[in-house]
Structure formats: C-alpha cells, structure tokens
Amino acid sequence: MKRPAFAAAVLLFACLKASGQTSDLQLLRNADFSSVQLQETPPAGANGFERAMYTVRRQLTGRDFYDPPNYMFFRQAVRSIGFVPAFFATGDRLLRDSRLGTVRTYLNPDDPVIHEGPEAYSPRRKALRAVGDRQGVPVSPGLPRGASGPAARWVSQDYDFAQYLIDNDLKLDAARLVGSGPYHQSDTLTFLKGWTEYQLKHLEQAGAFLNAVPKESSFYDRSFFYSNAISAHLGDYSGPVKRLEEYSGPYAELRGVQLAGLALLRDDPEAFRSAAESFRYNDFALEAAEREFDSIYKSRYEEKKKSPWLAAAASAVVPGLGKVYAGQLGEGISAFLLTGAMGAVSAEHWLKDGPGNWKTIVPMVIGGILYLGNIYGSYMSVSIYNQRINDAQTTAVLYNIHIPLRSVFR
Amino acid sequence: MLRQRLFCTISIFLCALFSASAQDWESLAVGYERIIYDGAGLEETNDALRAKADCYKQLGRWADASATLSRIRMFALDEKERAEVLYEQELCYFLGGEFSQAAVLVEELGDGSREALLLHALVLAYDGQYDNSEIYAARYLSWDGPSPRLQALLNLYAAHPLPHNATAAMVWSFFPPLGHFYNGEFGEGVLSGTLNAAALAFTVANFVSGYWVTGLLGGGIALNYTFMGNQERNAALVEKHRRNDAVDFGDKVRKFLLSE
C-alpha cells in the first residue's frame, strides 16, 4: 500500500517538474568552465606603471608575501599616510617581503598572503579601530512575518526536522524550510530563523532575528546570549553591555563572562574588574573562558610593553636589530642582509671611485632609503607587534564570549 | 505508521504541487529531505535522494547535487539504477568543474548508453586524456552506424594541444628565454631574456672592472631574481597551459559533439 503511494507521489513530482526542467543536453551546452581556467590579470585599480611592474614581477623569483603587492603599496601609502612616511614604509616593506622576512609569520595555506595595507604604518590605526565600535547592530526594520491562512501551521511541529537539517550540514535547506515554509508567526519561528542564519554565518540577519525573541519565550536566554556574541563579532560592544546590565535571568555567571569579555574589547579595565567578580572558576563550560580573560587582562594592563623608540635606536645601531627586539627575527635578518649588502657595495665604490661618483651615490641613496626605512619600520614594528597581540587577544575574547554558549545551551 | 507515512507523502506532494508551478526547486529539495527524515525505507530514501539531487542540478548547485548522490545506498540499487546514479554523479562533477573526480567514474559507469559515451568523451577531453576521449567521442558519433562527421572529429582530435612536459620546460629554462618559447609565450620570453641579459651584463662588467663586492652581491642578487624567477615562471606556465589548454580544447569538442 505505502510503496505504490510513494511511487505515485514521486511519479507526479516528476511530471510536475518535467514541465520546466532543464535537460542534461541543455546543461552540457550551457556549461561555462572559464572559472576553472587559471586567469592572470593585474590587480584591480592598477595604473600603467603598476601594470608594467606586475608584468615584470612575474618574471622575478619569489612571490608577493603581502597584499597589496609592493608595486601597488606606495601609491596607496601616499594617499593613506602621506608622502614621506610612504617612502620609508615602502622601504621597510621591501625589506620584509621575502621568505626570510616572513619566516615566523603564520600563513594560511588557503590564502598564503599577509593582508596588510598602509594603515599598518599609521599611528592613528588604533584610534581608527576604536571608532569601529558601532552603536548597535542595525535591526531589519521589518523582519519577514510568518504566513497566515488555512495552509499555515506551527513551526514547532517541524522543530526537530529543522534541527536535523542543521545537524546534517544541510543549512541552506534549513533556511529554506523556516524562511519560506507556511508557518504561523511565533517565537519559535523567529528563533529558528535566527539560529539558521547564525549557522549560515549571516550574522547581521541572525542578530536581528535573535534579538527579536521576546523575554517570555523559552528560547529567550539562548537567543539573548547568542545575540550578544553576534553583536560583539559585528563590532557593536556598547549595545550588548547595556542589555547585559539589564539582564536578571538565571545565567548570572555567563552574564559576568560576557560583560568581562566586552570590557576587554572596549579597553575598560575598571569594568572588567567589576564583571570578573562574578567568576567562580568551577563551571566546566565557563572556567576556560574566565581564566583566559584573566590572562589577557594581566598581559594587557599589568605587564610592561615594548618601546618603539628602543626598537628604532637598536635598528639605527645595527640594521634589523630593532625588528628582532620587536619579535620579528626573520624580518631583522632580512633587513640586515639587504641593508648590509647595499652598504658594502657603496663602501667599495667609495673606496675606488670616491664619494662624488654616481656609482657611489646610487647604491648609497638606495641603501640610505632602506636604512631609514628599516629604522622607521622598526619603530612601527613594535606598534604593529603590539597591535598584533591586541588583535590576537581580541580574537581570543570573541572566541571565549561565543564558544562557551555551545556547552551552556546544549 | 502507514497512515502517518501516507499523510506525510501526500502533504509533501501538495506542498510540491504549489511550489512546482513557480519551479521552486529549493522547497522541493527540502520536501525530499523530509521524506528521508520521516523514516523512509531504503528504496524510498534512494529515490528521494535522486530527486533531491535533481533539484540541486536545476539550481546549478553541482557540489550539493554530487554530495546528495553520494549519500545514495548503492547496494540497494539494481544494475540500471546504479548506472543512472553514476551517470548523474559524473555529470555533476563535470558541470562543477571537477574533471578529475568525474574521470574516476568513467570506467565504473561503463559505456551502456549514448549519453554516457558523450559524457565520457567530454570529461576525458577536459581532463586532458585526449586519446581516451577520442575513442568515446568516435563511439558516440557512430552509435547509430557510420557517421559522416567522423573524419571531422578525427581531424579535431589530431589538433589536440600537446601537454607541456614539465621536465623539458625546466631544462629549456636554464637557457632563458628558451623555456618561455617552449611554453609558447614569446612576449614574456623577450622580457625575461632582457632581464637576465641585463643582470648577467651587470655582474660580468663589475667583475671585469674589479668591483668584486658589487659583482658578487649586486650581481648575485639580481641574477638570483631574474634567473630563478625565469625558472619559477616556466613551472607556472606549464601548469597554466596544462589546465587552460585542456579546457579550451574541451570547449571545442563540446561544441562539435553537441552541434548535431
């Protein structure tokens, strides 16, 4: 009985689909494989000189370890940090952009390039990043409503199915189910939409849906803490702090953990100390995050930081030494070898041709730019180093705001 | 249990009935997944997965389609059904640009139908296996007896791109710009040759003039960049031609075979 019924249903499906289905031959005819081919095109926005440099660069050994590549960097740096700093920053960049210069840098195998624009050399970088603390995630003015009418039903009937789709990595199917299914509007539907968008890493939409789950809902606590983590990931630190301060639910320690993490993200040691008072260090789900936050607080506010001036002075005495002090051993060796080579070439011509000969002047000018660039780069390296530590800590904080939720709300 | 199953099947069908009018393949795919979730039997699950893969095909989501097909329990299929599933899988890999993956299925699928011969010919052409591709293409054209287009096909395959030998390219690249010329890149070859000649001239001139440090350090660094760069570029060109030439030739074969 059931087999013929199923077969009939599948057959009818097939008939319905056949009307608009694309045949295999059509698919084969229309296929476009140009994306499979290796395309070689100059970087977007390159001018004539940069295109020429791109052509020459391909004939030289090594590869560009940095993005944007050096021949694109100077023009961008002039626009971003001014002519003179751009000059020295490019000199420093040339010294760093080698296998040796990046030897201790982690390169993602899928994207083995360091994405570092001229803003890395800007002292205002940190200030610019702080401005990134956005005032609240934009909540969609009109979240899609549920369906109505006789065909509509309650999504709670399909809750397990939606979870099954998510658990089996069929997230797009889950989004389709809750996004266009004939369901009545309900808190469960709002939560499921947010949860599915979250799984698809559509954070803005996920935050908007999860924020809209009302306090009365049984999904409220879960939605509340996840939406806070999402807001933090999107760069909004003040919104979740305000919401957490008003929270009076059962998850007091988790509230403290999120508040402490947000205090670190906002660079507010006072607020951190206040939030950390709720740490108990005995909850399996939260203990690691609490200890990590304590360690970041100690490293950021209680330990001495490296001095950019000392790095610059060290590089003035021995090229590359400031980079080693800044923790960039490869960059230091690379700077020492290249600057030293130019110095040796200049010295040879000085001795044989005299200081006024162009053969002396040219390597001296190039070596001088590299030398000054290296001093400037060493000064900036410490700030870049400090910024990298700060970035790593920010990543760790965001991770620890977010990951414990998976254990708390199983 | 039976009533529940019937209710579920009918409700999915009704759902599909409304969505199919708008060709809502995504909703259909979810519907088929629900059949599996609701505890369909082995054969029903396989049918639902095949139908679901078909929806993804219509949406152009080739990777999802092949992933869905790989969930099918092949042991529960008969010979004909298994061939159909393998054909679909090979087709999805091919359309998704996964030519090597598709080529793995050629022998497994066999040559039981004209469509399979066509697909094999295309897959192997795009994968750079021109001789095997030619055999399948010829059999495809001659399926209903001798074809007047066979000679044209043989002429097409006679002009297939020669795979560039990586070892030969490397040997030629020791004498810049011959490696570039071997790869058919004459403009780049001239540029590479000029750069290498300039670096060599700089080094030799400095040594001859007694500038040993400049010759050793400056010339050494310059030659390292130009000469080794020439070798790296040649290796990259071999890879580029290996991939791009096969796709270009595959496009020609596709156009020819589908122009009937």
- pLDDT, tens digit (0-9, with 9 covering 90-100), for A278-318: 999 988 889 999 999 999 999 888 888 888 899 999 999 99
A293 and A217, same structural domain?
yes
Q: Please tell me the predicted confidence (pLDDT) of residue B104.
A: 94
Ordered DSSP codes for A251-307: -HHHHHHHHHHHHHHTT-HHHHHHHHTT--S--TTTHHHHHHHHHHHHHHHTSPPPP
Tell which of A121, A149, A176 closes a domain. A121
Work out the percent of chain B whose per-residue pLDDT is above 90: 66
Residues B99 and B41 in one domain: no
pLDDT interval class at A91 (50, 70, 90): confident
* pLDDT tens-digit map of A388-407: 788 889 999 999 999 899 88
Q: Do A137 and A285 lie in a common domain?
A: yes
A-chain CB neighbours of B211 within 8 Å are 348-349, 352
Residue to test with chain A: of B214, B216, B230, B254, most A Cβ within 10 A = B214
Min Cα separation A9/chain B (Å): 6
Contact A38 B217 (CB under 8 A): no
**Cβ-nearest to A345 among B24, B213, B232:** B213
What mean pLDDT do residues B178-195 have?
93
Answer whether residue A374 shows pLDDT above 80: yes
Residue A341 belongs to some domain of the structure: yes
Average pLDDT of the residues of chain A:
84
Same domain as A298, residue A202: yes
Mean pLDDT computed over every residue of chain B: 88
Q: Across the interface, do A13 and B9 touch by the CB < 8 Å criterion?
A: no
Q: pLDDT, tens digit, for every residue of A217-265?
A: 889 999 999 999 999 999 999 899 999 999 988 999 999 999 999 999 9
Q: At which of A64, A90, A121 does a domain end? A: A121
For residue A343, is it within any domain? Answer: yes
- Whether the pLDDT of residue B221 is over 90: the answer is no
Average pLDDT over residues B75-87: 92
Q: What is the CATH number of the domain that holds B88?
A: 1.25.40
Asked whether B46 and B70 are in contact (CB, 8 A), the reply is no
Domain match, B68 and B103 both = no
Average confidence (pLDDT) over A35-62: 88
Point out the domain boundary residue: A270, A303, A336. Answer: A303
pLDDT at A276: 92
Tell whether B238 is covered by a domain: yes
- At which of B160, B186, B204 does a domain end? B160
Tell me if A39 is assigned to some domain. Answer: no
A36 lies in some domain:
no
Co-location of A140 and A236 in the same domain = yes
Q: Do A341 and B233 touch (CB under 8 A)?
A: no
- If pLDDT is split at 50, 70 and 90, which confidence band does B187 have? very high
Q: How far is the CA of A203 from the CAs of A47, A77, A208, A233, B65, in angstroms?
A: 36, 32, 8, 8, 26
Phi, psi of A56 (to 5 degrees): -70, -40
Domain boundary among B76, B102, B137: B76
| Claim to verify: residue A296 and residue A317 sit in the same structural domain | no
- Residues on chain A touching B45 (C-beta within 8 angstroms): none
* Shared-domain flag, residues A170 and A260: yes
What is the DSSP pairing of strand A66-67 with strand A114-115?
parallel
Q: What token pair was written down for B236?
A: 């990259």
Q: Cβ contact (<8 Å) for A165 and B30?
A: yes
Q: Do B91 and A27 touch (CB under 8 A)?
A: yes
Instruction: Kindly report which listed range (A10-19, A157-166, A173-182, A384-393) carries the lowest average pLDDT score.
Output: A10-19
Residue in A5, A60, A344 closest to B217 by CB:
A344
Do A272 and A161 reside in the same domain of the chain?
yes
Task: Compare all CA atoms of chain B with the CA of A31 and give the residue at the minimum distance.
Answer: B95
Same domain, B10 and B35: yes
Same domain flag for B62 and B121: no
Q: What pLDDT band is residue A20 in, cutting at 50, 70 and 90?
A: low
Which residue from B61, B78, B214, B225 is spatially nearest to A345, judged by alpha carbons?
A: B214
Which residues form the domain of A176?
Answer: 133-303
Output the six-digit token pair for B35. 């059949």
Instruction: Sort out which chain B residues have CB atoms less than 8 A from A339's CB and list them.
Output: none
| Domain shared by A293 and A313, yes or no | no
> Where is pLDDT greater, at A126 or A30?
A30
Count the residues in chain B. Answer: 260
| Averaged pLDDT for residues A6-19 | 53
What CA–CA distance (Å, rounded) separates B189 from B185?
A: 6
pLDDT in tens, A322-362: 989 888 888 899 899 989 999 999 999 999 888 889 889 99
Please give the residue of chain A at the shortest CA–CA distance from B127.
A36
Say yes or no to pLDDT of A23 above 70: yes
A25 domain residue, yes or no: no
pLDDT of residue A140: 43
The verdict on A174 and A233 lying in the same domain is yes
Asked whether residue B260 is domain-assigned, the answer is no
**pLDDT (0 to 100) of residue A136:** 42
Q: Is residue A75 part of a domain?
A: yes
Give mean pLDDT, residues A183-208: 91
Residue B257 lies in a domain: no
Reference B203, options B219, B187, B225; nearest CA is B219
Which chain B residues are Cβ-neighbours of A13 within 8 angstroms? 13, 16, 20, 28, 51
Identify which of A6, A29, A37 has the shortest CB distance to residue B44: A6
A350, amino acid identity: W
Q: A56 touching B, CB under 8 A?
A: yes
Reported ipTM exceeds the 0.90 cut: no
Same domain, B129 and B107: yes
If asked whether residues A204 and A269 sit together in one domain, one would say yes
**Percentage, residues of chain A above pLDDT 70:** 87
pLDDT at residue number B9: 57
Domain boundary among B160, B180, B195: B160
Residue of A nearest to B88 (CA): A24
Residues A84 and A159 in one domain: no
Q: Which of A83-92, A174-183, A338-347 has the highest mean pLDDT?
A: A338-347
Joined tokens for residue B194: 């000029």
Domain interval for residue B104 = 82-160
Task: Count how many domains chain B has.
Answer: 3
Instruction: Give the DSSP letter string of A352-371.
Output: HH-TTSHHHHHHHHHHHHHH
Residue B230 binned pLDDT confidence (cut-offs 50, 70, 90)? very high
- Residue A255's CATH number: 1.25.40
Same domain, A261 and A377: no
